[in-house]
Chains A and B, each alone.
Chain A
Amino acid sequence: MNKTPLLAGLIVAGTFALPALAHGRTVTVTTQLKAYGGDGAYLALYLVDAKGAYARTLWVAGGKAKYYKHLADWNRLSAADGRRLAGVSGASVGAGRTLKVTADLADALIDAGYEIRLDAAVENLRDSPAEIRLPLTAANAGRAQAGRQYIQSLSYEFQ
């Protein structure tokens, strides 16, 4: 898993099978990694609905599909989504680095019980599925949450 420079301002086109974006908002998710003393981390940032069912992948950091099984929850939940990587994948993120991801979300997803989740895995270190779970609400915007192992803080902002 390679280190990559800071990934800032990545625009992710919102052209997937989602409710029409007639009333949409752009969300920017900022993920700051801890200096956990390992190689670059594989991360999966995704949305689940109120029942815990997979909704959509926002970003997958890490290029080798054979390691996705270490992002166990995302890999299991999104298995049926044939386009889960379409335009939303990049290189793994080095320890101490920051990943910024932007995505267009329909208003209907906000304050509707949806949750942003992040799975993380680092080679030779333990996997951390559900490293972070953060409800997608207007009130939570700008509030940083720490992960269990690898994430210093994750926060999102609406534009």
Chain B
Amino acid sequence: MDWKRLHRWLGLIPGSILLVLGLTGALLAIDPVQQAWQAPAAADSLTVADMLEGVSRTISGVEEIRRLPSGVLVAYSFDGEQPRADRIDPASGDILGSYQPSVLPRWVKNLHRSLLLGDAGRWGAAIVAACMLLISASGLVLLLRHLGGWKQLPAQVRGSSLQRVHVLAGRMALAMLLLISVTALCMSAVTLGMVAIDSDAEPGVTSLPIGQPGMAGSQIPFLRDLAVADLRKLSFPDASDAEDTWKVVSRGGEAWIDRYSGRLLAWHDATPAQQFYDWVRMLHSGEGAWWPWALLLGLTAGSIPLFWLSGLLMWRQARRDLPRIGNNSPLAQADMLIFVASEGGSTWAFARALHEALARNGHRVHSAGLEHFQSGPQARQIFILAATYGNGQPPAHASRAIARIEEQRAGALPVTVLGFGDRQFPAFCAFAAAIEQALLRQGWSGLLPLERIHGQSAQQFMLWGEALARALGEPLTLDYRPRLPEMTTLRLTARQEYPGCDDRPSVILRFRWPRAGIRDRLLGRGLARFAAGDLVGIVPPGGAVPRHYSLASGSEDGFLEICVRRLPGGLCSTHLFGLAPGDTVQAFIRPNPGFALPDDSRPVILVGAGTGVAPLAGFIRRNDRRAPMHLYLGARDPARDFYFGPEIAHWRSEGRVASVQATFSRLPGGAHVQDALRHDAERVRDLVSRGALVRVCGSHAMARGVAAVLDGILASLRLSVQQLKIKGRYAEDVF
């Protein structure tokens, strides 16, 4: 079942009406909260007869007394010609004030339950409630998929900020949303008459006049036994109708009482269906519930616009990212087949680059979704570009892809799989790996082994393209053009140079960004807020693909700082290295939410080598809480590439970093940062067992080495890097 599509379309279309029901529902929660404050505290032992005695002294001509679910008691009477409704104190009978049914205009409730359209609208609202149930249920399935199962439910949420808002709010509100939709459906069934919950039968009893005035309510035995807390409604006998009776609606049922003798004439038990319905109504409306429940209902209803808006924006983003492929040859004629599995559409941009590059070489190329996987009569190569969704899941449209591969006999031609994913997830590119495994099991061969592309890295894709060109024996130019976010102009204010080793000098660049006006800020324009560990994307002049650099500062620091090492032939690094103060670059922020540090006081182990120390320096710089941070820093030579050296010493004296272990590989007896960790095994174990977070930044090789060393150190704690990653305690930023 395509839960994602169901969730999306129900959320977008009936969801827009649900938005109205949510907003009005949030408003309607005001009444029960307000009434709960108004309700007088009545002793449990107080009887209706006691109350009537009090009321008889304060209000004359009472016709009816109702106890609202909130506990507020309302006496209805006539003051001459003028009907009155007063809130009363049941113990004394004192008038507490006049009664207003609601602080809200009536249309709010009518909009909520019938969209102001009468009975047709009630059906509409019921259908929307059913949609809400489906949206919530499918949301739960997607949430579990995203996080990786029930056990991962409390895990850290990853993804773009929109996704995170949607998923985090969903995790908090789902249970309540499910409850609200189920209770709404129950109430609709009753309102629309699909379920009858009480009998309308009237007992047809009358009072028997015996030539004397009626008995005072306070003398009637039934009312002397009935607690005020159990009362729903008490109707007084009509003064002008000698045969009229008292009528009591209580929690337990309905009673008719002779006005002269005070005898119980008839009794109808409340049906279990009625009692169930009362419960449902209380749960849904909050009336009669403990007031924080009503507040919770209101907040949950108020969260619906948040889901709707973030969902809408996510959908728009996915649509925008969906590229169109031109000159797509039919399957029967194509010699190159490309099958794509993409959740948000970004993988299609890579597929298009591959498609166009092959087409330029004269190939007839056919691209399609992975759910259509099959060979063709003319096909000579098959490529599968597969993104992994969440923690190891296939994108929704390709959920049956592996089954489809397993149904088909292997062809003689090679299939090459290219995986896309995010290293923050423990199951990095797991879907692509599963596809490759399935293909190998079926007997397919591959032209190239599985390559895993992290974070839509254009560089990695280019490198894969070079390998592919060699394997195909033809030149191949992958012209990948990602959709770039809006750019902001950064101006260089300072540069600090390091000679570096092997003719690869480095520089720490500090930029300033233009202040955004209020209008731009409201529209979300201008440079996004950022924190150390996020990335800045910079597009060099003449280039199409941004390079990403880890940020060594946050917005709060008032400057944007990165550490750049000049690579031979590196377009972007060479450009940046050549910048003089006052020069500008075009840049945007890319959040790196899994890597940023949460705002708490847990100990932190920071491991960085080379320019990878930059985000770690940023963490330390903003460690105003003085969380115990322990830095393991690797460089080659203290005189050549000890980035942030003086600053780190200063932060150490301020207590922003608890300990610093620097290793230098080019010094005599040189060591790597892994060696320092191994040397400190005991302390690392102690920190991790106390809940420490770990952040690793540097090259692939270094990150792999660090993970291997830590696995060794943590084995005696029965912990592994993989487990820490699953718990969101271990994150890497590698390049």
Contact = CB atoms under 8 A, between A and B. Distances in A.
Contacts of B85: 126
Interface in A73-106: 73, 75-76, 79-80
A38 B196 contact: no
Interface string B74-98: 0010100101010000000000000
Interface in B83-120: 83, 85, 101-102, 106, 110, 114, 118-119
A114 interface: no
Nearest to A124: B101
Nearest to B117: A2
A82 B235 CA distance: 26
B202 interface: yes
Interface string A134-151: 000000000000001100
B241 A69 contact: no
Contacts of B64: 126-127
Interface string A112-134: 00000000000011110110000
Which of A65, A73, A76, A80 has its CB near the most chain B CB atoms (within 10 A)? A76
A76 B200 CA distance: 10
A66 interface: yes
Contact of B118 (A3, A126, A129): A3
A69 B200 contact: yes
A123 to B, nearest CB: 10
Contacts of B235: 72, 127
Contacts of B520: none
B240 interface: yes
Nearest to A128: B83
A66 B193 contact: yes
A80 B76 CA distance: 30
A149 B83 contact: yes
Nearest to B206: A76
Given A2-B119, A37-B106, A148-B78, A126 B200 contact: no
A66 B196 contact: yes
B731 to A, nearest CB: 56
A39 B114 CA distance: 12
A149 B63 CA distance: 13
A130 B237 CA distance: 12
Contacts of A2: 114, 118-119
Contacts of A72: 235, 247
Contact of A79 (B102, B119, B198, B204): B204
B238 interface: yes
Contacts of B204: 76, 79-80
Nearest to B110: A39
A17 to B, nearest CB: 19
Contacts of A73: 238, 241
Given A39-B110, A130-B238, A64 B83 contact: no
A129 B83 contact: no
A143 to B, nearest CB: 18
Contacts of B81: 148
A19 to B, nearest CB: 25
A110 B101 CA distance: 42
A149 B83 CA distance: 7
Contacts of B247: 72
Contact of B200 (A38, A39, A68, A149): A68
A6 B381 CA distance: 75
Given A2-B119, A3-B118, A126-B63, A39 B202 contact: no
A12 to B, nearest CB: 23
Contact of A75 (B63, B202, B238, B241): B202
A38 B83 CA distance: 14
Contacts of B83: 126, 148-149
Interface string B629-668: 0000000000000000000000000000000000000000
A79 B202 contact: yes
A38 B64 CA distance: 19
Interface string B191-224: 0010010101010100000000000000000000
Nearest to B63: A126
A126 B76 contact: yes
Contacts, number: 49
Interface in A1-40: 2-3, 37-39
Interface string B706-729: 000000000000000000000000
Nearest to B101: A124
A72 B241 CA distance: 13
A66 B110 contact: no
A155 to B, nearest CB: 19
Contacts of A68: 200
A149 B235 CA distance: 17
B241 A130 contact: yes
A39 B106 CA distance: 8
Contacts of B101: 124-125
Contacts of A148: 78, 81, 83
Nearest to A80: B204
Contact of A66 (B76, B106, B200, B243): B200
Which of B102, B114, B202 has its CB near the most chain A CB atoms (within 10 A)? B202
A76 B78 contact: no
Interface string A45-83: 000000010000000000111101100110110011000
B287 to A, nearest CB: 11
Contacts of A129: 238
A38 B118 contact: no
A75 B243 CA distance: 15
Nearest to B66: A126
Interface string B117-150: 0110000000000000000000000000000000
Contacts of A39: 106, 110
A68 B238 CA distance: 18
B417 to A, nearest CB: 61
A121 to B, nearest CB: 12
Contacts of B202: 69, 75-76, 79
A65 B193 CA distance: 9
Contacts of B110: 39
Interface in B229-256: 235, 238, 240-241, 243, 247
Contacts of A130: 238, 240-241
B106 A38 contact: yes
B559 to A, nearest CB: 61
Nearest to B192: A64
Contacts of A127: 64, 235
Contacts of A65: 200
A148 B78 CA distance: 9
Contact of A64 (B76, B78, B102, B193): B193
A75 to B, nearest CB: 6
Nearest to B245: A76
A134 B80 CA distance: 20
Nearest to B77: A126
A68 B63 CA distance: 19
Contacts of B114: 2
Interface in B501-540: none
13 contacts: A52-B241, A66-B198, A72-B235, A73-B241, A75-B200, A76-B204, A79-B204, A125-B101, A126-B76, A126-B83, A127-B235, A148-B78, A148-B83
A-B pairs, top 10 by smallest CB distance, nearest first, are A2-B118, A126-B76, A79-B202, A124-B101, A149-B83, A76-B202, A79-B204, A126-B64, A69-B200, A75-B202
Given A76-B204, A130-B240, A148-B78, 8 more contacts: A38-B106, A63-B119, A64-B193, A75-B200, A76-B202, A124-B101, A126-B83, A130-B241
